[in-house]
Structure formats: structure tokens, C-alpha cells
Amino acid sequence: MKSFNLLSACLLAIAHFSCSSAPEVVRRGPAADWPHYGNDPGSSRYSPLEEVMPANVEHLEIAWTFQTGDISRGDSEWKGQRVRTRSSFQATPLLIDGTLYLVTPINRVVALDPETGRQRWAFDPVIDRIGDYGDGFACRGLASWLNREAQADAPCRRRLYVATQDARLISVDAARGDVCKDFGTAGEVRLDEGIHIVNKGEYHMTSAPAVVGDVVVVGSAINDNGRIEMPAGRVRGYHVRTGKLLWAWDPIVSDANVQTGAANAWGPLSSDPERDLVFIPTTSPSPDFYGGFRPGNNQFANSVVALRASTGQLAWSFQVVHHDLWDYDVASGPSLFNLKRNGADVPALVLATKMGHLFFLHRETGQPLHPVEERPVPQHPVAGEWLSPTQPFPAATGPLAANKLRPEDAFGITPWDRKACRERIASLRNDGIFTPPSLRGSLNYPGNIGGSNWGGVAVDPARGLVLVNQTNLPFEVKLIPRDQAETDRKQNPGYEYGAQRGTPYVMRRRALTSPLDLPCSPPPWGTLAAVDVHTGKIRWQEPLGTVRDLAPVPLPFKWGTPTMGGPIVTASGLTFISATLDNYLRAFDTTSGKELWKGRLPAGSLATPMTYRVREGGRQFIVIAAGGHAKAPSQQGDFLVAFALP
């Protein structure tokens, strides 16, 4: 009997270690919120949490899933009218004081129990769903403000701010989900008052506001390529409690010789409250692909602009594209960090661009911390156009996205496919990056989606690394004389056309793909990279994503995919990112770039994740929105998915 008991004990021990391979998790450390869109005001997207680490990340599993119910597939009705706008669930939630707050594509604000995913309350602003909302229904996040002078149970002590598709800024009580009626008129401010709007929906909001001190700052999303004088891309600051307009800053410099609009800030903002600075990422002026009526560099367009948050006064600006003709918006605010030089902390920021360029600047002056060179770029535009002879290039950091594509570089999975791409590339004007739009048709590489887009970057201060994802997807752009546009449209189905009213040309574009609908550029079509903040050098760069959910059969080829969304980093040495056209959230070793884990999602996720621990001794959760994109070949959904260790 004794030997039997000993054998049984051994078998039980073997079974225990083989079936329970997850290492013991030591839950330690204080609670860690995610109180801002980028975790901190400066959008570092860095978390001090260490429970999930390279040694145990493979054991992450889904802890809970919440469905918002808010999907628009372009085939529904609202108040008796057809809703043609599709939705993109791109939100990054906030975790504040034990509650998880998210916003849906139609601007509903939802409060959840962060450890179970159960709904606590929901607020519906009931947006107008009829209008041309650009790239679809989307809202990436919220902002919040705490009235420290109010009693703990006072109404609206903690406020949430949502900027809606139909151009309202609304203040919501974070505890109850009611509007804060002392803000503006009955809890909201109209953001389109005084804005000249021609087409309903062309002026809207897609990103989170920024709260700096007692000021809530908001930009705007303005549709591309409509006409010369689109709505002004004015940035405004409102009092957090009353909604009173405190200041407005216009990126378009008044000049009788310049006719344009936009240069707006549709992407996420970032700020430095201690220095009273808010950083504004501005876009191209209107229209995107012909600038003959806006000669010159268009000074504050395509720039990162530092404003005094309390007054709106200009502190400094740095332009990354002169006289943009490529839709190379600055799509996200910079990420802030301190750079060590000669033993002292230098206040720094890093800015990623659609061109695959990474700029390191002094936070107080805007001066480059790593060298930037003005280099000659292609000339000879269409008649009536003006071109900058040079463009700024970061000298320390090589291009993170490919910017040259020769006919002999053409990709195809069959000789026939590759031949078609080679001929298409050869037919286009192709002088490298910043090739101007032409009547012949020009190759834009990177294309207008990036490089980097609104996901921005993440900064690991301990390891001195910037994590940044890129898209490598070429586009073809052609200017069509206006009197030929209707015929051209009939002969070329499948292209996107931009009216560019008031100019001599209509714009035509699409991604440069093969007859099998694969990019004509060689893979990887999406990457994740780490860049050393001290030197600007690329430490590693790896393909990001597979064609698993794009191919007719599930092929796991690691060719990368175009990306939308961004990374976060944790103190344990992990980088979490989804952002691809396959349905996965991934974890990479921040130091080496090795992919350590991927978790399957119920839909595509072109969003940025976040992470938190609600209480000391509680679990660390990693949360991601999985809802696809209105214009991307990814599966739509309405899922918020939380992962944690068992």
C-alpha cells in the first residue's frame, strides 16, 4: 500500500506540473490607472505594470468581453433615412478611480466594471447619423477633469468630455452618466458655430479632447479634397466647468494671396501641464493634392504646434512637410519624455509622420535634438502649382517606411501578377518620396495612410526606446483636368475621386495593387520598430501582422499588413499592439523585437490597447477594442476584449 501511495503521489505531481504549466503569478504593486488617452498627458503610452512579463505572457487569456451594440454597416435607417456611413471602433478606454470608461463609434459613453466588464451606466448623445463623416463613424477616446475642491459625492466632481461626430463638446458626470448642465448650454457646446459648412458632416470630431489645467482643448476633423476653402481648422480652448470659449487659434495665416482651409487637428492631442503647453498635430491645407491657390510653405500646416494651454498663444512650431501635396497629415500628437544629455534631463518629444520619418525635438523650443536636414526633392509640378525646393529629413534615423519602388522591385505571387505590377509602376511618374501629383499619374510611397498614422508611438523611458508601427503601401495619384473627370470616372471604377472644387483638377487615387489585390511593393507591408532615443538609430524592425484574415484560405505568412492604431509598452519589457488587418493582439519583447504571444480577437482591431490594475493585489488587464475599420478589409465588430493571466 505504501508503494502504491508513493506511485500515486508521483503521478499526481507529474500531472500537476504538465497540466498546470502557467507559472505562479505574484500580484504585487499598487493600483495603476490609465487616466488619459495616452495614459499620461504627454502620451507616452507607458505603464509601470510588471505582472505580465516576457516569462508568462504566453499564458494570457480572455478574462471578459463586452459588446457595445454600436455597429454601422452602411445599410441601416435612422429617422426614416438611409445611414450610409460605416463605423470604426477605434477607442482606447480610460481607467479612472475604479471605473473603465469607453466611447463607441456613435459617441455613446459607457462605464464598465473593469474587472468583470459589466456595464454600470451609459450616456447617449444621440448624434445626427446623416452626413458625410469622412472615413466613417469613429471616436478614439475621452478626456476627464477632476474638481478637487468639490466634495467626494458632489455631482460632476469628475467630468468626462466627448467630442461628437455632429460637432458638439459634451460634459458628462463620470459617476452617474448624466450631462453636467452647468457646461455650455444644458451640458454641451456647439463646435460648428461660426464655421462655414457647405456639406453636412464635413466638419466633425473623431479624437479625444485634451484637458490641461482648467482648459479643455479640442481640434476638428475636416473632410479631405472637397474644395479650396474648406472650413478653418481652428483649435479652441474652453473652460472645463462653464464651457466658456477662452481662446481660438487658427493654423491658416491670413493672406490675401492664399486661398485655403483645413490644416486642422483631427488626431489625438498631447500636453505638458507643468509647462502650460498643448501640442497640436496639424494636417495638410485644402485641397490636399493641388496647392496652386496656397503658394508658400503654408507655415503652420503639417506641423507640430505648441500653444500655451491657458491662452492659446503660440509658443513654437515645427513643420515636417512644406506645402503638402501628398495628404501627409501629422496624424497624432507627439509623445513626451526626458532625454539624458551630459547628466541632465532635457525635456524632449518624439513625433512620427506618415512619411516614415521620426523627429526628436526640444519640448520648450521645438529645436531638433537629433539633426534634421533640408534636402532637395523632386520638382516640375503641373501648371499653376508651387513646390518647395526642399523638405526636412531626420538625419539620425533612417526612413522607417519604404520610400522607393522601382519596376524591378515589383512584387507578385505569380509571374503574371508581378508583371502587371511592374508595368503599372513603370507607367507612373516615380522620382522617389515627394514626387508631386501629375497628369501622367504619380507614385506616392509611402501613401497617404502612412508610414505612421493616428496611433502615434510609445516610449519606454527605462530602456530608452521609441516603439513605432509603420505601413508600407504605395498609392497612385493622378490629376484629371476637370472637363475630363466625368469620363475618367466612368472608365475607371474602383478609384477614389476628390472633387477639389475651385481648382483645375479632380484628384484620382487608389492603393497600388496587383490583379490579385496584393500590394505591388514587396513585403513587409507593415512593421514594428524600436528606435534608440539617445542616438536616433533603429535598434530593430520586424514585420507586423499576417495575411491570415485577408486571404481566401487562412495563410499565416508573416508579410505584415497595413496598420492603423498604435503600441503601448510596460515596465516588464513588453510591447502590446494590434493595429493590423488580421484579428490578433500581439506582445513583443521590447528589447529584442521577438514576438512572444498573440491572442485571437473576435473581429479586426485597428485600435490602440491600454492596461491597468484596479487595486493592489488585483490582476493586470490588457484591453483592446475589436471592431474593424469602415474602409479597411477587416472584420467589423463591437467588442471590447480584456486579457489577463489565469
Cell of 464: 530608452
- Can you point out the beta strands (E) in 188-313? 188-190, 203-204, 210-212, 215-218, 221-222, 235-239, 245-249, 270-272, 277-281, 303-308
Give the dihedral sign, CA 14/18/19/20: positive
Which backbone phi and psi does 127 adopt, to 5 degrees? -75, 160
Q: How far apart are CA 252 and CA 260, in angstroms?
A: 8
DSSP letter for 218, please: E
Letter for the amino acid at 298? N
How crowded is residue 73: how many other Cβ atoms within 10 Å of its Cβ? 12
Cell of 448: 497617404
Q: How far apart are CA 416 and CA 407, in angstroms?
A: 14
Cell of 348: 524632449
Q: How many CA atoms lie within 13 A of 16 on its CB side?
A: 8
Catalytic residue among 70, 173, 224, 327: 327
Residue given cell 503574371 in the structure block: 416
Instruction: Mention every residue, 6+ apart, whose C-beta is less than 8 A from residue 308.
Output: 276, 277, 314, 315
Cell of 196: 462655414
Q: How far apart are CA 624 and CA 568, in angstroms?
A: 11
- Can you point out the beta strands (E) in 149-259? 158-163, 168-173, 188-190, 203-204, 210-212, 215-218, 221-222, 235-239, 245-249
DSSP string of 91-114, one letter each residue: ---EEETTEEEEE-TT--EEEE-T
Q: How far apart are CA 438 and CA 290, in angstroms?
A: 10
Instruction: Mention every residue, 6+ apart, whose C-beta is less than 8 A from residue 471.
Output: 401, 446, 447, 449, 450, 451, 452, 453, 525, 526, 562, 563, 564
Q: How many CA atoms lie within 13 A of 338 on its CB side?
A: 7
Q: Are strands 465-471 and 496-498 parallel, antiparallel or unpaired?
A: unpaired
Active-site residue, 182 included = no
Q: How far apart are CA 416 and CA 422, in angstroms?
A: 10
Q: Which residues are catalytic?
A: 327
